[in-house]
Amino acid sequence: MTDISVNLSKLKLRNPTILASGIMGISGKLLLRVANEGAGAVVTKSIGPEPRSGYENPCLAEVFKNTYLNAMGLPNPGVKHFAKELKLAKGGSVPVIASVFGDTPSEFAYVASEMEKAGADAVELNVSCPHAEVATIGQSCELVSETVKEVKKAVRIPVFVKLNPNVTDIVEIAEGAEKAGANGITAINTIRAMAIDINTCKPLLSNRIGGLSGEALRPIAVRCVYEIYQNVKIPIVAAGGIFHWSHAIEHILAGATAVQIGTGVVSGLQIFQEISTGIKKYLEEKGYQNVQEIVGIAHKEGRN
């Protein structure tokens, strides 16, 4: 029997597909809906210590097929309000991962601990939104380490760190997060990018600069996962350009234990089921028993 369940630190996922942060994760009902459609776990929208309205429209644009530019500005109702939504989402059968952010390590720790109290199964630290202040945390090895240490002191649930690809050496930051006690790495958030409307002669997004997601991001994300896998031992969750089961397999072969689907959700919520079924068929056809057997096998010489 082929088994597509995976272990992610202390979490047990029925399949390796996870809803990425910022996509439908703003209410308990929506998170439940995605869980019911077949996701192995769900990540909430990034939540901060206080309510935040985000940037003015336009904040999302399709720049070419299946590739988007967004600068939402981390709109969220603040952790006190969101705790109710998280409790609702916990009614489902899959782990709920709370994405959290703050301006300082102690704000991260505060939001993470409130999320734990509300029932989150894990937290994902968003130190990486490329068009908000948190980006600077994710660009500094020291700040990432400090943030992880503070959060680890504040919670007992697993702590994942979502990395910013807008750095010279993503591996250095991943290693710093691991040394500081992180239980997993999510790679990657969006890439800083912009587009200009040639008729208005103005940038497309109100914030001018945003983050690129979708198909165009996939080769960059696969490279990041591959390089991180060579250098850290904690599990990696891939995010970037997954629209089809073969894209998920590519990330798993590079070193990911599970995969997040963000922009791919534009094709419909059946995507979680389709990708899980595709992964299972691939394993069966190749004669593997479980997902773990293929994690990182694109590294010819093994992990190191």
Ligand X SMILES: Cc1cc2nc3c(=O)[nH]c(=O)nc-3n(C[C@H](O)[C@H](O)[C@H](O)COP(=O)(O)O)c2cc1C
Nearer to ligand X, 74 or 143 (CB): 74
In this structure, the number of other CB atoms found within 10 A of the CB of residue 223 comes to: 16
Q: Is 22 in the site for ligand X (CB under 6 A)?
A: yes
* Min separation Cβ 136 and ligand X, Å: 15
Active site residues: 129
Beta bridge mates, 212: 69, 191
Smaller CB distance to ligand X: residue 17 or 21?
Answer: 21
Contact call for residues 18 and 260 (beta carbons, < 8 A): yes
* Residue 72 binds ligand X (CB under 6 A): yes
Query: Does 70 participate in binding ligand X (rule CB under 6 A)?
Result: yes
Beta carbon of residue 9, minimum distance to ligand X (angstroms, whole number): 18
Provide the phi-psi class of 287: left if phi over 0, else alpha when psi is between -120 and 50, else beta. left
User: Which one, of 21, 50, 2, lies nearest residue 240 by Cα?
Assistant: 21
- Residue 207 in the binding site for ligand X (CB under 6 A): no
Task: Assess 261 for contact with ligand X (CB under 6 A).
Answer: yes
User: Shortest gap between Cβ of 232 and ligand X (angstroms)?
Assistant: 18
DSSP strand pairing (96-100 vs 41-43): parallel
* Contact stretch for ligand X (CB under 6 A) within 18-26, 33-41, 110-118, 164-172: 18-26
Q: How far is the CB of 70 from ligand X (least distance, A)?
A: 4
Region binding ligand X by CB under 6 A among candidate stretches 9-17, 34-42, 210-218, 284-292: 210-218
Q: Determine the residue with CB nearest ligand X.
A: 22
The length of the chain is 304
Q: Which of residues 177-196 bind ligand X (CB under 6 A)?
A: 189-190
Does residue 264 touch ligand X according to CB under 6 A?
yes
Pick from 115, 217, 234, 249: which binds ligand X (CB under 6 A)?
217
* Cα gap 304→258, rounded to integer Å: 20
**Is residue 262 a contact residue for ligand X (CB under 6 A)?**
yes
- Number of shown-chain residues binding ligand X (CB under 6 A): 27
How far is Cα 71 from Cα 161, in angstroms, rounded to an integer? 20
> In whole angstroms, how far apart are CA 120 and each of 114, 158, 159, 263?
9, 10, 11, 23
Tokens coding 254? 């590079």
Q: Where are the beta strands (DSSP E) in 4-154?
A: 6-8, 11-13, 17-19, 41-43, 60-64, 67-70, 96-100, 122-126
Residue closer to ligand X (CB basis): 113 or 128:
128
Binding site for ligand X (CB under 6 A): 20-22, 45-46, 60, 68, 70, 72, 74, 99, 126, 129, 162, 189-190, 213-214, 217, 239-242, 261-264
